[in-house]
Chain A
């Protein structure tokens, strides 16, 4: 399989300047992906693939991620050899079973990206982190005997034992935090590969939780600091990126809670949504109404609304009974996400508004299909708290070939948090609707100045502490209630609140 990829990629590089048709490259790429995934599926691999011990179980994972990554690369203006190199390295990374090869490929991919991207200091921090990870791993490997599947966990010094897995997670944090700025876009490769690296090294995760909590705090602070840019520019692109990074925070908490499959699948789904959005924006760059439909699709799916994909996944993360600190972090991130969503709708509502009933058939079809896509994504990722084990996390069951157990015990906590979440969403939405735009702008301006002037860490710490206190109070109340609730009750309450809010708006 790699022979095919290598030969065709080399041909593409050589004939790059002579090819005038853009679709020819895409066709070759599709052929490469299809043939190599067929080879993986039928376990009919070549010499190179066998020499790196390729794995056969997750053909679907390979297919999904490679398609998304290669589309994401093709729309860039990188040089041809860089694109082909990254494609080859990612396919090696996805297929291989050896930890050492996956580390080396990660390192090389990061270096190739360094060569192409605008220089920011955080990029070099990430390359430093991955090189230190490689350093520790290979120095261990040189001193210990290789066992089957590289599953060594014998550390040279106690220091490297403490430092190793947190470094991988810190690498994930830095990668998520450096994804976007005013002048750069999110690259799917750089989101997926660190999370997959964390999955591959999952047996090394035997560290104390408090370190991991600290990492989550770092990521949350980084995200909140990025939120300043949303306040400054109010543009749709930046706010979608911001919402995406908040959804990635939930993915990161999944990673901390050792639910690696869930983290991978939800990051895949998020990237799929992003790719669909980009595809529509590129193909229909003339048609404004279709673009605004796509934008609202992506906003609804990324924001932590009670009906959206990322909202449900954050609720799922809340329901799994994590420590109170992580609970607080997730709640803060959800609140920020809802607030951002409401503010975006307030600022850009006129741009996004479309009269669907009087529009063309094409637009109607687009809307219906996007709506059904988001419904399908939601049902493929239903949490086991809502449905039976057979239907829960359908995508994980498909990709990783595992089974999810039916849960009955933690139902109460999940439903209560669902209800509180609904109420909070209503309240914030109503609050943002009522508040005058000038006041909102002034508030955002002053907070921006405030963030600029005062040292960040103290301020953030206070905010988090406050929300944490509030949460711990409410949690005690929840648990003292009687076991009555279920998903139906929460649904009734949702409709009840909808009616009440309608009445308020009408008044």
Chain B
């Protein structure tokens, strides 16, 4: 897994440096990448859960406070997350796993929502760092209510898609990406599926933040493929829900392609 993250870091650095004429513009981007890699390495060497947690919090605070905009929203969400953690103490460890699960969900939301002022592309290494931390937490958290929460989330996303007339099926849409992330976090996927899902998710994120020409149209199809992978464990809970959501996603793909053809022109054959 670490190789995938390494590849994506190198590719993102390459893309960032190619984009700008002056290397000094890239310095915030570089520093965030280096910071996140330092914390990756720390995750490996620190055994205790508490230290890992501290590393995660310190790194995210550093990055957001140094470079982020809308810090008040970050603080608000962090406050809710810490309040969740304080519940852990109040309930005396009874609902430990469930509370940790909710905490991870809120941290994911923070990662997706936060924006950066000097260089908007810093979002990508920050997301990379968050995904890696999530993969680490995956081994610790195992909640029983997560499946129900996830089922509700799918239904909500389907309703939202229908409300927006299926137009927001893209890598930009926050709730879709959030759903896929939490799907990877919630279920115990097989290793190959997990790796390919992370690979595709990172590809979608990199395409979204860097706007690479030619390949950018592929991101919809990649999203569809990831959603198939996520639906595999969902189908064990309820097959009709999984089939229904795949059907809606394919309709969304169709509408997106139709809109694209109207804008740019028809493809061959």
* A105 CB to nearest B CB, Å: 13
> Which residues in chain A, 128-164, are within 8 Å of chain B measured between CB atoms?
128, 131-132, 134-136, 138-139, 142-143, 156-157, 159-160
* B2 CB to nearest A CB, Å: 22
9-residue interface stretch from B85-93, B133-141, B229-237: B229-237
CB of B180 closer than 8 Å to a CB of A: no
A139 and B269 contact, CB distance less than 8 A: no
Residue in A134, A138, A157 whose beta carbon sits within 8 Å of that of B239 in the complex: A157
Q: Name the interface size band of chain A.
A: 20 to 34
* Distance in angstroms between the alpha carbons of A166 and B53 in the assembled complex: 50
A124 and B254 contact, CB distance less than 8 A: yes
B236 and A124 contact, CB distance less than 8 A: no
B239 and A160 contact, CB distance less than 8 A: yes
Instruction: Name the B residues within 8 Å of A135 (CB-CB).
Output: 228, 231-232, 235, 242-243, 246
* Distance in angstroms between the alpha carbons of A201 and B83 in the assembled complex: 53
Instruction: Name the B residues within 8 Å of A138 (CB-CB).
Output: 193, 232
3 cross-chain pairs, A with B, having the tightest CB-CB distances, nearest first: A124-B254, A128-B250, A119-B257
9-residue interface stretch from B72-80, B153-161, B217-225: B217-225
A selection of 24 A-B contacts at a CB cut-off of 8 Å is A77-B268, A111-B221, A111-B224, A111-B225, A114-B257, A115-B221, A116-B267, A116-B268, A118-B261, A119-B254, A119-B261, A124-B251, A127-B224, A131-B224, A131-B250, A132-B243, A135-B243, A135-B246, A136-B239, A138-B193, A138-B232, A142-B190, A160-B239, A185-B269
* A482 CB to nearest B CB, Å: 55
A124 and B228 contact, CB distance less than 8 A: no
> Which residues in chain B, 37-56, are within 8 Å of chain A measured between CB atoms?
none
CB of B253 closer than 8 Å to a CB of A: yes
* A282 CB to nearest B CB, Å: 15
Instruction: Name the A residues within 8 Å of B257 (CB-CB).
Output: 114, 119
* A157 CB to nearest B CB, Å: 7
* Distance in angstroms between the alpha carbons of A116 and B261 in the assembled complex: 11
Instruction: Name the A residues within 8 Å of B267 (CB-CB).
Output: 115-118
Number of CB contacts from chain A to chain B under 8 A: 80
A76 and B218 contact, CB distance less than 8 A: no
A136 and B247 contact, CB distance less than 8 A: no
B269 and A114 contact, CB distance less than 8 A: no
* A185 CB to nearest B CB, Å: 6
Q: A114-B257, A124-B251, A131-B250 are in contact. Are A78 and B268 (CB under 8 A)?
A: yes
CB of A184 closer than 8 Å to a CB of B: yes
Q: A125-B250, A128-B250, A135-B231 are in contact. List 17 more A-B contacts (CB 8 A).
A: A77-B268, A78-B268, A115-B217, A118-B261, A118-B267, A118-B268, A119-B258, A119-B261, A121-B254, A124-B250, A128-B246, A135-B243, A139-B235, A139-B236, A139-B239, A142-B190, A156-B236
Instruction: Name the A residues within 8 Å of B268 (CB-CB).
Output: 76-78, 116-118
CB of B23 closer than 8 Å to a CB of A: no
CB of B266 closer than 8 Å to a CB of A: yes
* Distance in angstroms between the alpha carbons of A111 and B251 in the assembled complex: 14
* B55 CB to nearest A CB, Å: 33
The residue in B193, B218, B233, B246 that gathers the most chain A C-beta atoms within 10 A of its C-beta is B246
Residue in B233, B243, B254, B266 whose beta carbon sits within 8 Å of that of A142 in the complex: B233
Instruction: Name the A residues within 8 Å of B228 (CB-CB).
Output: 107, 131, 134-135
Instruction: Name the B residues within 8 Å of A116 (CB-CB).
Output: 267-269
Instruction: Name the A residues within 8 Å of B232 (CB-CB).
Output: 135, 138-139, 142
Question: What is the chain B residue whose CB lies nearest that of A184?
Answer: B269
Question: What is the chain B residue whose CB lies nearest that of A127?
Answer: B250
* A138 CB to nearest B CB, Å: 5
The residue in A111, A132, A143 that gathers the most chain B C-beta atoms within 10 A of its C-beta is A132
* Distance in angstroms between the alpha carbons of A185 and B268 in the assembled complex: 10
